[in-house]
């Protein structure tokens, strides 16, 4: 059973499976991860997993889907606020970076799913599900892209090609999934400060200087 668009958190049994699977896929990659690995991580039988998912492919797709759903829910309160586009982009970008850190295991699965799709490394069973997931991820990116266009029209951002700018800043905003490592005693404020530094770097590339809107 897969999460649908707009659905809330899965039940606790499925949530535990998704969490365990996300860690396994992050650590080993899709090809090297088995249902046995997820069951061991969960300290459960394979039957518990197969009760919800018919295959590893189905489980991977749901981890991907849930990773994206968390991102959509996180930025939703800001999408239609009355603030200027540059400030909405700044706040949404910070939320996105914090998501990349605090839900890193899920976001690595999203990244691997996109890579598998681009390489054509998906099975026929996966292609239909992945096509929908990739489209949903593209729509998420477009939310940020539209704000970049609006901020540039307002004169608050300065860059040439909109598509290139959006791709480059997303590489920056997504980058913690590759280099971030938790530190002993780290707090939510520490994580937010990391996010602020990443966003400041991205804003500089978009022509927003310190002290500008």
The pLDDT value recorded for residue 9 is: 55
C-beta separation of 86 from 213 below 8 A: yes
Q: Domain range for residue 98?
A: 12-205
| Whole-number average pLDDT of the chain | 89
* pLDDT-flagged residues of the chain (< 70): 1-10, 121, 210-213
Sign of torsion over alpha carbons 150, 152, 156, 161: positive
Q: What is the pLDDT of residue 7?
A: 43
Q: What torsion do the CA atoms of 120, 125, 34, 104 make, to the nearest 10 degrees?
A: 60
Domain membership of residue 213 (yes or no) is no
Distance CA(139)–CA(97), nearest Å, equals 18
Q: What is the pLDDT of residue 125?
A: 72
- 139 located within any domain: yes
Q: Are 68 and 136 in contact (CB under 8 A)?
A: yes
Write the burial class of residue 103 (CB in 10 Å: 0-12 exposed, 13-18 middle, 19+ buried): buried
pLDDT value of position 213: 47
Give the domain CATH number at 63.
1.10.357.10
Distance CA 85, CA 39 (A): 45
Residue 191 belongs to a domain: yes
Residue pLDDT, tens place only, 50-103: 999 988 999 999 999 999 999 999 999 888 788 999 999 999 999 999 999 999
Instruction: Check residue 35 and give its pLDDT.
Output: 95
Residue 210 lies in a domain: no
Token pair listed for 89: 């982009």
Q: Identify the pLDDT of residue 210.
A: 64
* CB contact at 8 A, 48 and 17: yes
Tokens of 93: 């970008």
The answer to whether 202 and 172 have CB atoms below 8 angstroms apart is: yes
- Quick one: pLDDT at residue 211? 52
| Total domains in the fold of the chain | 1
Beta carbons of 60 and 21 less than 8 angstroms apart? yes
CB 151 within 8 A of CB 157: yes
The reply to whether 6 falls in a domain is no
Which pLDDT score is estimated for 2?
Answer: 35
């Amino acid at each position: 059973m897969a999460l649908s668009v707009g659905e809330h958190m899965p039940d606790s049994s499925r949530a535990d499976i998704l969490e365990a699977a996300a860690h396994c896929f992050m650590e080993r990659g899709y090809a090297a991860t088995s249902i046995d690995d997820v069951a061991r991580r969960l300290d459960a039988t394979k039957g518990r997993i197969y009760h919800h998912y018919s295959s590893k492919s189905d489980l991977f797709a749901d981890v991907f889907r849930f990773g994206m759903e968390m991102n959509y829910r996180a930025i939703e309160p800001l999408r239609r606020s009355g603030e200027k586009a540059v400030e909405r982009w700044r706040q949404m970008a910070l939320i996105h970076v914090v998501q990349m850190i605090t839900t890193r295991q899920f976001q690595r699965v999203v990244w691997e799913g996109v890579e598998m799709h681009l390489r054509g490394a998906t099975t026929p069973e996966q292609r239909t599900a992945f096509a929908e997931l990739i489209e949903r991820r593209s729509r998420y990116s477009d939310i940020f892209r539209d704000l970049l266009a609006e901020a540039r029209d307002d004169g608050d951002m300065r860059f040439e090609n909109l598509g290139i700018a959006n791709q480059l800043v997303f590489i920056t905003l997504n980058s913690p999934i590759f280099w971030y490592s938790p530190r002993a005693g780290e707090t939510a404020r520490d994580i937010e400060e990391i996010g602020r530094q990443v966003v400041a770097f991205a804003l500089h590339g978009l022509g927003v200087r310190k002290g500008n809107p």
